[in-house]
Homo-oligomer: A and B are copies of this chain.
Amino acid sequence: MTIQEPATARPAGRPRSEKAEKAIIDATLDLIGEGTGLVELSIEAIASRAGVGKTTIYRRWSNKEDLVADALATLQAPLPRLAGVSVRDDLIVLLDSMRSEAGQVRTRCVMNIAFSESDRYPRLMERFVDIAVEPRRQAMREVIRRGIASGELRPDIEVEMSMAILSGAMIWHHKWGPADGLPADLAERIVDHLLPGLAA
């Protein structure tokens, strides 16, 4: 697992310990991955699992929400590369990256937390949206706008609603689909089911 550079400013003059940071992030994700909810998750438990003192954590993160947001950010795969030729193909690639991320236990935890505790942790949610959600939305938005500009899609479709419908169909399958994994052609089926209604 690679550690992304978190977006918060590091306190000036602090010595950087990549190894401790990675251990703290891993401990956080391990605990969440084992089913520890955000309420139960404590800096004590993370420190103990990571084999560091609480001070080492507090030196880097002033609170649990910021630590969890940074930990979640490390789980995100890079955005898939889009060919930029066919709107259909690019939408399938984007939806398929949602499908494969959800196949991983740790990433399922991201989803679960994002969906379950957003009311209680607005700041975590806000950071998570900035880091993880918005770049994906922006990629899909650009594909749909390109499709409208090229004439592949109807000029009168609502871009944001189309995004909600495409993503919502995948979210629905994450939660209600077969427990042993989503079918490999799911993204293609969703897009092909929707495209006749969106095409010019």
Contact = CB atoms under 8 A, between A and B. Distances in A.
Contacts of A40: 37, 39-40
A162 interface: yes
Contacts of A162: 193
A167 interface: yes
Interface stretch (A4-12, A15-23, A52-60, A111-119): A111-119
Interface string A98-110: 0000000000100
Contacts of A189: 158, 161
A169 interface: yes
Interface string A33-71: 001010110000000000000000000000000000000
Chain A residues touching B, majority SS: helix
Nearest to A175: B115
Interface string A177-200: 000000000000110011111100
A187 B18 CA distance: 49
Contacts of A198: 197
A195 B164 CA distance: 15
- Which are the 10 A-B pairs with shortest beta-carbon distances? A197-B197, A116-B116, A168-B168, A168-B172, A168-B169, A115-B115, A164-B172, A165-B169, A196-B197, A112-B116
Given A37-B39, A162-B193, 5 more contacts: A165-B172, A165-B193, A168-B172, A195-B197, A197-B198
13 contacts: A39-B40, A108-B119, A112-B119, A161-B169, A165-B194, A168-B168, A168-B171, A168-B173, A171-B171, A194-B197, A195-B197, A197-B197, A197-B198
